[in-house]
Amino acid sequence: MESEKRNKKIQSTMKSSRKYAKGKSNFIFENKSCVEDVGRYLEKGAECLKSKSDTHADESPALQRDEGDGESVPEMAVEDTYPASSNMTCVSTVQRFHVNIELDIMAVMLFLAGLATRMYRLEEPRSIVFDELHYGKYVSLYMKRTFFFDSHPPFGKQLIAAVAYLAGFDGQFKFDRIGSSYSETVPLFALRLVPAVCGSLIIPTTYHLMLELGLTQWTAALAGFLLLCDNAMLAQSRFILMESMLLLFALFGLLCILKFRRYHYHPYCLQWWLWLSLGAASLTCALCVKYVGFFSCCLGASVVGRDCWRLLSDRRLSDGAILCQLLTRLLVLTAIPTAIYLTIFYIHLAVLSRAGPHDSVMTSAFQASLEGGLASITRGQPLEIAHGSQITLRHSHGRTCWLHSHAHVYPIRYPDKRGSSHQQQVTCYSFKDVNNWWIVKRPQRNDLVVSQPVDAIRHGDVIQLVHGMTSRALNSHDVAAAMSPQNQEVSCYIDYNVSMPAQNLWRVDIINRDQVGDIWHTIESLVRLVHVNSSQALKFSGRQLPDWGFNQHEVVTDRILHQDDTVWNVEEHRYTKNEDQKDRERELVNAEMIPLRPTSLSFWEKFLELQYKMLFANQENVQNHMYSSEPLEWPFMARGIAYWVSPHSNAQVHLLGNLVVWLSGSVSLILYSILLTFYLIRRRRHCYDLTPDTWYRFVVVGEVLLLGFLFHYVPYFFVERTLFLHHYLPAFTFKVLLMAALVEHLHHVFCETLSWRLGLAVFKLLAGAWLVAVLVVFRRFSVLSYGTIPLSAADILRLRWRDSWDFILHRQ
């Protein structure tokens, strides 16, 4: 009886499946045989199931393998090694077997469809599209092994660079501006290949993910189809951009974690280890493509965490066994990510060994460890700062500049009527200059020569700093600074005889003396110069002086010692040999250093510095970008992003999603929340509308997909940076999956719970119409995703369905 019912169900799904598959073939596949394949396998599956349900519990694995095709064997091998232990799982294996055959054909079809859409005329447009400007540039720098600084982690760029390297890209192309065309030597196909393949792989991955959530293969295929037919996903996968990789790793990681879940009751088996570590690895990769991947990691962790919590309630296990399991998971989930993260950065730093344009972001030590650049200047400098050392002092963190002075004085009065000391200006100057040189002097000695043995300066010593070109000493006093009145002014002391004595003693605080020792070292020692009279530290204030200070940056002293802006280090250094002031000046002007010994930093030092800069560096913010958008606008797709426009015609690439998918996704999000609340309230009143099985599936979907959406969406409300529509894509993916799950749930409700024929029919009709609408809209807007077809102004205006969409039109 029961088996009959099940057969019926399968037949009905088969019918709908044929319909659905045919509908699809009209648009994407010309290959009819493929569709028929599905049908055939379906029938096979049904037959198989029928025979199986007769024999019921003791099914033979051999039979399964007979029925399956070659591709599904490895999948089933997994099943074979773990014969079902209880009746319950047995039934599910039966169903899963049925699924397995479907799954591969369907997944392969989805993948092929994805490939076909993503790779179609991949090399067009043959010009720089949007952020290819950045990512392409980074890839070319990888080719040239030149160091660059980016606040995103490097894995995505490395993948693309690896493929580009194999394709023989030499990195010589200059990525100068969006829209300029690629030269013939650029293997554009190879550069765009990785994102496109990843973008296609996303679709079968979501398909499997949905199956793993306990949904039917048709729902899973629906989810895949919706992602396939989204224009934003398409456009984002076709160019050298990071999102498709990020999404693939995140979704695959989640899939692994869900597969891992299946072995909840079989800890420590091979699959258990495999899926757990694969999941951890893949999620870490997502993190290493963009830091947004962190939210995916959180989602994965929350799924594992929930399982752990359930595990606790299992009274059959002893405390020790549970502790052991928890610790193993914790170990795997920390060790693997750490290892991968470090490896990726190790490769990054090992490959990029040459000095390049972004050096100045890093500290002197880091720069000196790169080939060329600073290293060629500082090599062979004396190590220890001593009395008589000539040095340049660099502001270590944040903006690159050197302590500077010149023969100009502070204006007597500022515009706000405050007075100044009228002494020689001291600034922080962002360019190399002869006026950046200072001579270190002990207060009690009067000569300025380094004598043997070298009188090295140690932590805590009090020194004076004499400006090389003007021979005046660095001084500070209780006069409000020019731009930061709450701080003291710093000047080079001129004695006007106005009862304002020199206060030019500074105490050297070596901050990292634990690592580099008590003696002040070139480059490595980070020092804080504390003014002896006022106990305030020399600080770069971040403000720019007006014209009278040549727009250089202000230097002050500050009461608060412990801050990044009070940290300085010696960059260039040599010993003074000559006592005569004129000779010294000549020496300063003509000096050139001979490289002798390279500075080298360990991986750890470089890694930690790079991390610090990546996470805390003030990112330059593109304020008021024309196509930036707000998180609230995303669900309704109020704005797109113009990626590229052809210089000759109105052909253009514009990031814009499939409006039908986006809007219905948002609606389904709301609908799901309403239903969830409704069911919860009903259950609280002990009215159980759903069967436990349906309810469980409904909740699991919410736990993974709704949570996934929230994890990837809500944090953006607290982000200060300029945001773009493509930041929404991870959240969008989860939204689409939730929508597919909701469709199945509604179908189920109409079918089983309400058993309301008319409703079901209407629902099916609506769903069909909706799918057709998705396809139609996809096709209409695909011109904007591909950018290959020249459009007339009228065409563009016809596509402008919303006033807030700003397409680009050339004027006649």
**Closest approach of Cβ 647 to other proteins, in Å?**
17
686 touches other proteins by CB under 8 A: yes
**Closest approach of Cβ 750 to other proteins, in Å?**
26
Per CB under 8 A, the list member of 618, 693, 758, 794 interacting with other proteins is 618
681 touches other proteins by CB under 8 A: yes
Footprint (CB under 8 A) of other proteins, residues 57-116: none
604 touches other proteins by CB under 8 A: no
Q: Could you give the CA distance from residue 494 to residue 25 in angstroms, rounded to a whole number?
A: 86
Per CB under 8 A, the list member of 62, 66, 184, 315 interacting with other proteins is 315
591 touches other proteins by CB under 8 A: no
788 touches other proteins by CB under 8 A: no
Contact range with other proteins by CB under 8 A, out of 172-180, 312-320, 375-383, 605-613: 312-320
The three-state secondary structure class of 439 is: strand
559 touches other proteins by CB under 8 A: yes
Contact range with other proteins by CB under 8 A, out of 23-31, 284-292, 380-388, 535-543: 535-543
CA proximity to 458, closest of 395, 394, 525: 525
316 touches other proteins by CB under 8 A: no
CB atoms within 10 A of CB 464: 20
Site string for other proteins, 142-171 (x = CB under 8 A): ------------------------------
CA proximity to 283, closest of 265, 264, 260, 267: 260
CB atoms within 10 A of CB 495: 10
806 touches other proteins by CB under 8 A: yes
- Sign of the four-CA dihedral 427, 428, 431, 436: positive
543 touches other proteins by CB under 8 A: yes
**Closest approach of Cβ 315 to other proteins, in Å?**
5
Per CB under 8 A, the list member of 16, 484, 666, 788 interacting with other proteins is 484
Per CB under 8 A, the list member of 684, 693, 758, 794 interacting with other proteins is 684
589 touches other proteins by CB under 8 A: no
417 touches other proteins by CB under 8 A: no
415 touches other proteins by CB under 8 A: yes
Residue 3 or 544 having the CB closest to other proteins: 544
Give yes or no for a contact between 573 and 391, defined as CB atoms under 8 angstroms apart. Answer: yes
**Closest approach of Cβ 806 to other proteins, in Å?**
8
Q: Could you give the CA distance from residue 143 to residue 352 in angstroms, rounded to a whole number?
A: 9
Residue 441 or 513 having the CB closest to other proteins: 513
Q: Which residues contact 483 (CB under 8 A, 6 or more apart)?
A: 541, 543, 544, 545, 554
Site string for other proteins, 694-733 (x = CB under 8 A): ------------------------x-x-------------
In our burial notation (b when 16+ CB lie closer than 10 A, e otherwise), range 229-255 reads bbbbbbbbbbbbbbbbbbbbbbbbbbb
177 touches other proteins by CB under 8 A: no
**Closest approach of Cβ 298 to other proteins, in Å?**
16
Residue 230 or 489 having the CB closest to other proteins: 489
615 touches other proteins by CB under 8 A: no
In our burial notation (b when 16+ CB lie closer than 10 A, e otherwise), range 78-102 reads ebeebebeeeeeeeebbebbbbbbb
For the chain, how many helices (H) and strands (E)? Answer: 25, 14
In our burial notation (b when 16+ CB lie closer than 10 A, e otherwise), range 528-556 reads bbbbbbeebbbbbbbeebeeebeebbbbb
Q: How many CA atoms lie within 13 A of 336 on its CB side?
A: 22
648 burial via Cβ count (<10 Å: 0-12, 13-18, 19+): exposed
Give yes or no for a contact between 151 and 221, defined as CB atoms under 8 angstroms apart. Answer: no
CA proximity to 160, closest of 184, 188, 179: 188
**Closest approach of Cβ 689 to other proteins, in Å?**
15
Q: Could you give the CA distance from residue 268 to residue 256 in angstroms, rounded to a whole number?
A: 15
Residue 412 or 498 having the CB closest to other proteins: 412
309 touches other proteins by CB under 8 A: yes
In our burial notation (b when 16+ CB lie closer than 10 A, e otherwise), range 301-319 reads ebbbeeeeeebeeeeeeee
471 touches other proteins by CB under 8 A: no
CA proximity to 599, closest of 626, 569, 643: 569
Per CB under 8 A, the list member of 417, 562, 582, 648 interacting with other proteins is 562
Site string for other proteins, 320-359 (x = CB under 8 A): --x-------------------------------------
Phi and psi angles of residue 78, each rounded to the nearest 5 degrees, phi first:
-60, -45
How many residues lie near other proteins (CB under 8 A)?
33
Residue 318 or 590 having the CB closest to other proteins: 318
What DSSP character marks residue 725? G
What DSSP character marks residue 750? I
**Closest approach of Cβ 653 to other proteins, in Å?**
19
**Closest approach of Cβ 533 to other proteins, in Å?**
13
Place of tokens 């950065």: 345
Residues lying near other proteins in the complex (CB under 8 A) are found at 309, 312-313, 315, 319, 322, 415, 484, 535, 539-543, 546-547, 558-560, 562-563, 565, 618, 624, 626, 681, 684-686, 718, 720, 806, 811
